Structure 1
Amino acid sequence: MIEFTEIHIKILLVLSDMEGYSNKQLTKLLGMQKTNLSRALGELEEHGVILRGEPRKSMEGKRYTETPYCINIMHPEESRRELKFFEFIIKKTVEMNKGSFCLKLLKSKYVNKLIEKYRFVSLFNILKKYNDNDVFNRIFSQSILQPACIHN
């Protein structure tokens, strides 16, 4: 599995809103050089963390198409892999002490989609493995209990 860097985490945080962003948009949003960003996007794509969406009309209203990147939400038959990937991201954010990233990720549309797809208890079982870390325990309780889909 990929060894996450600060750049990878920043990219995943932006993509966690599930809107999809082109290389050009990500360059602007993250304030990075295109070559550094392209390398990081390539690494994430190569490991199946993100994928390229269908080409679409430019979000900037110009007359060209762009190809958005998005977090890879897998098919139901790949659910075990998808939940393992979610666990891997959480583990890495705990190890890297990235509390602010973890809070934003857990409040994202990406996590809401995982909850809708696999139910709250599946994600909770992953998160409770880290309940011995007081900072992350507080973050998990502040964020994961908030999505409306757990109340349906």
Structure 2
Amino acid sequence: MDRISDADRPMPRLEEQLCFAVYLAGHAFNRVYRSVLAELGLTYPQYLAMLVLWECDGLTVKAMGERLMLDSGTLTPLLKRLEAAGLIRRERDREDERQVRLYLTAQGESLREKGRCVPDSMARALGGAVDSRDRLLEQLNALRDALLAATEPA
């Protein structure tokens, strides 16, 4: 059986690339989220940080970074903006001064109720099909896990 050399293989088209489809889907998500989150006064990364704190108030910055897969250089400016907006406060841990803990302010806590509408708004944007949303979420999580596993040292 003859093998086709790389030089003889046609160049893949942009539209055939999975990475490009994910990239464009990400842009489309951001566009929808931008309009939905404008009512909350949050950017998408700020919304993610608030979601984490709504789940677990008092988390350390390190734990937040691990949850969001963000390094401190990216996370710190985001947290400073949330603090300046009066939504969170940062405090040194009483037992370990090296750790900084994140707490919701009363204003940040009150935003939780408004934040409850975001998943419904996104479901409407996706056509409201909850069962397909759950299946898509499962597939995307499996994709993420496979890609992360491929980048781990052997």
| TM-score bracket for the superposition, by shorter chain length | 0.3 to 0.5
Looking at both structures, which has the greater relative contact order when contacts are Cα pairs under 8 Å and sequence separation is at least 6?
1
| Larger-Rg structure | 2
Query: What TM-score do you get using the length of structure 1 for normalisation?
Result: 0.44
Query: What TM-score do you get using the length of structure 2 for normalisation?
Result: 0.43
